[in-house]
Amino acid sequence: MAIEPFIQIEDLWHTYLPGTPLEHVALRGASFEVRSGEIIGLLGHTGSGKSTLLQHLNGLLRPQRGRVRVGGIDLSDPKADLDAVRRTVGLVFQYPEDQLFEPAVGDDVAFGPRNLKLPRAEVRERVRRALEAVGLGFEAFKDRATFSLSGGEMRRVAIAGVLAMEPRVLALDDPLAGLDPGGRVSLLELLSDLHARQALTIVLVSHAPDEIADLVDRLYVMADGRTVASGPPRELYRHPEVVAEMGLSLPEMPELMQRLRAAGVPVRPDVLTVQEAAEEIWRITRSFGT
């Protein structure tokens, strides 16, 4: 029995500044769906429509044409409960640390729950859970000056502020942007941990297909405002000609496997990680010796 998508987008169009000299069509019939518990990657070049699509997931943008459903709520309906949608889908913008504004870390993370008019004890507990979920101890960080933190810590605080609203879905717009290699690995490990421990559904926009390939369940590829391909990473990356047609480059390990295959080495075409590549090369090497 097929599982009903928790988020479903069908034939979505969006035009910025319609009827003006600056009119720009950002989405041209995009389709997209997410099932509860999935980690979905959204790839594409700058201007492909990824961020515009993401902003429809929590009602920041409303459908101009097409359909967006989140947890059974139709965002095309003028009477749709947008507050419920925004509690359900937490949106983390690119460079989320730029959204921090409170002097103390605890107050910044508490901003959303306080706006829900929750009791003080509940707000404090949500801040505790959110900080600890992103690897920042509550007692160690709640009174720290927000802008004294490192860039990676500030990004974690910004994500904690969204988690404090206790969403079912966490949607992140290129969260790896601007981080050094260590910070990128650390953040991906954090997202994997959040997914495992809190059963969060995650939608992840990225310009780094090689870094998210081993994390996501499925990938969507966007170009010119359309979703042009989707599927599990292993399935997409075993067809390099299709990836090239979409204007994307293969991640490093699938590209290495394709080069080896072109040279006549019978390696698997669906390898994603360095560990898998090492094991595959070792397997082939051993077979040559027998």
pLDDT in tens, the chain (290 residues): 457 899 999 999 999 999 999 999 999 999 999 999 999 999 988 889 999 999 999 999 999 999 999 999 999 999 999 999 999 999 999 888 888 999 999 999 999 999 989 999 999 999 999 999 999 999 999 999 999 998 889 999 999 999 999 999 999 999 888 888 888 888 899 999 999 988 899 999 987 777 888 899 999 999 999 998 899 988 887 777 767 766 677 777 888 888 888 888 888 878 887 888 888 888 888 876 65
Tokens of 205: 């926009």
| pTM for the full predicted model | 0.87
Count of alpha carbons within 13 Å of 87, Cβ hemisphere only?
A: 8
Q: Which residues of 225-255 are buried (b: 16+ CB within 10 A; e: fewer)?
A: bbbbbbeebbebbbbbeebeebebebbbbbe
Domains of the chain, earliest start first: 7-250 (3.40.50.300), 251-290 (no CATH)
Tokens of 204: 């992840």
